[in-house]
A and B are shown apart, each in its own frame.
Chain A
Amino acid sequence: MKLKGIVNLLPFALMLALLAAGCAQQADSTAKAPAQQTAQQADPNVYTGPIGGKSNKAKTISMTVGKGDDAKDVMLRFDDNTEGLEYAKKGEAAIIKWEQRGDDKYATIIKPKLAKLPEGVTEIKADELYKMLSDHVPMFLADARPEMRYDQGHLPSAVSIPVPLLKEKKAKVLPKDKNQLIIFYCGGYT
């Protein structure tokens, strides 16, 4: 396998950054819940969550805000003055500042929701991971997506450990050796 040349690296890096947003959304909002609530109380005209879709023809964005039973989909309009429309991508998490105009909510500024790594966890990029796999560096590589997504296509030697499974079975589905290198990956918000 090969990288298809340097030209691919820039969009690739950009994509990593964007995907990171989607990947980390769930964990991030769990970890930072208190801070986020404070922020939302301070500024109620901000929505944070995964984008459900965007229609350029209807100039409308749909996103899911809130968690669990409180989760609901909201619809926001946008116009030529809306900043950061490129971050309103289906399946990726975004932070949208909006204002009320008549009956409609208009998005004014859209920002990507960037990944925040948990304390003591470091990031790894595709090339480094590929090299480690090629060099047979001992590791426990785990796919955190739902099992269906794992079945469709997963990284070499990866095992399937969706978030609910790890929550339920805890260390039983992880290596015995607590110092073993463990690498988790996912596939954006979906």
Chain B
Amino acid sequence: MSTENAGLARQLGYTNVRAFLGGEPAWSEAGYPVYASNDFVVKGNIVLLDLRSGDAPVQGRIPRSVNIKYEDLESRMDDIPRNAPVVLYADNLDDVTDAYEDMKDAGFNTVAMVKGNFQGWVASGGAVESGPIFSNEIKWVRKLGKGEVSVDEFRKAVKGELPDTFVIDARTPDEIKELGIFTNTVNIPLDEIPKRMNEIPKDKRVFVHCSTGARADLAYRELIKNGYDVKFLLLNISDPECDCPIIIPE
């Protein structure tokens, strides 16, 4: 994308055009700061962390923020879903920078800062709320991505409550022998899907799952390409959240 834009700029007559091919991932990997747009801080599906200590958050904070002072961040890290986009702010550059690097190191993919910290937020006219804080619980729910089925809907299907749905388990027969298979589910390993397409009914909706969602995603692409109405489950099925009935082999 950067080279495409750079090429376009050259065509438009710009003489001094450069491309930073490493881009945002290389930038943040090097520990340099990235900022979230203020609008995204207000509306995005994010975990917004206020890293300040003492009374400051009670005096004024960004709405929707959760107060975890920097000293406590490490011990609270496991309460934050790793796939959640995280936005951080503090009242000094050191805390927010350290927290940014800690979270990157801990495996958070999308971490950004509020531009200019809390002071910058206020200066830019961002909304502030004040008063007592009743909860510092993190309540973040991932929004379903393209082609994903919700766990609730998937569970209904394997319980046989959705008669027009055909559920495929894309794991290998060995995995199923060891761990069992969900009820109302047919095993077609990912690599056999192209040649066993005739076993998958065209007039039903198709759900695909595997062990974590990676193979199900690939199966989804293959089935979409072949004209199926298909969704996949992006979940580690050993996650208690799944809670789907399993047939354990004898």
- Please give the residue numbers on chain A whose beta carbons come within 8 Å of chain B beta carbons, in ascending order: 1-4, 8, 12, 15-16, 19-20, 23-24, 26-28, 30-31, 52-53, 55, 57-60, 62, 72-73, 75, 77, 103-104, 115-127, 129-130, 142-145, 149-156, 161-163, 166-167, 170-171, 174, 178-188
Contact = CB atoms under 8 A, between A and B. Distances in A.
Nearest to A129: B20
B190 A58 contact: yes
B5 A142 contact: yes
27 contacts: A2-B31, A12-B29, A12-B30, A16-B22, A19-B25, A19-B26, A24-B21, A26-B3, A28-B3, A30-B4, A62-B222, A103-B194, A117-B6, A120-B17, A121-B7, A126-B30, A129-B20, A144-B2, A145-B23, A150-B37, A151-B39, A154-B37, A163-B8, A166-B9, A182-B16, A184-B1, A184-B20
Interface stretch (B49-57, B69-77, B213-221): B213-221
Contact of B3 (A27, A153, A174): A27
Contacts of B6: 27, 117-118, 121, 182, 184
Contacts of A73: 221-222, 224-225
Contact of B2 (A57, A180, A185): A185
A144 B5 contact: yes
B2 A24 contact: yes
Interface string B163-206: 00000001110010000000000000111011100000000000
Contacts of B27: 126, 129-130, 155, 185
Interface of B: 1-10, 12-37, 39-40, 44, 85, 97, 101, 110-112, 115, 170-172, 175, 189-191, 193-195, 210-211, 214-215, 217-218, 221-222, 224-225
Given A121-B18, A153-B36, A116 B3 contact: yes
Contacts of A58: 170, 172, 189-191, 215, 218
Nearest to A157: B35
A188 B22 CA distance: 8
Nearest to A58: B190
A52 B218 contact: yes
A72 B205 CA distance: 21
Q: For B19, B28, B110, B217, which residue has the most chain A Cβ atoms within 10 angstroms? A: B19
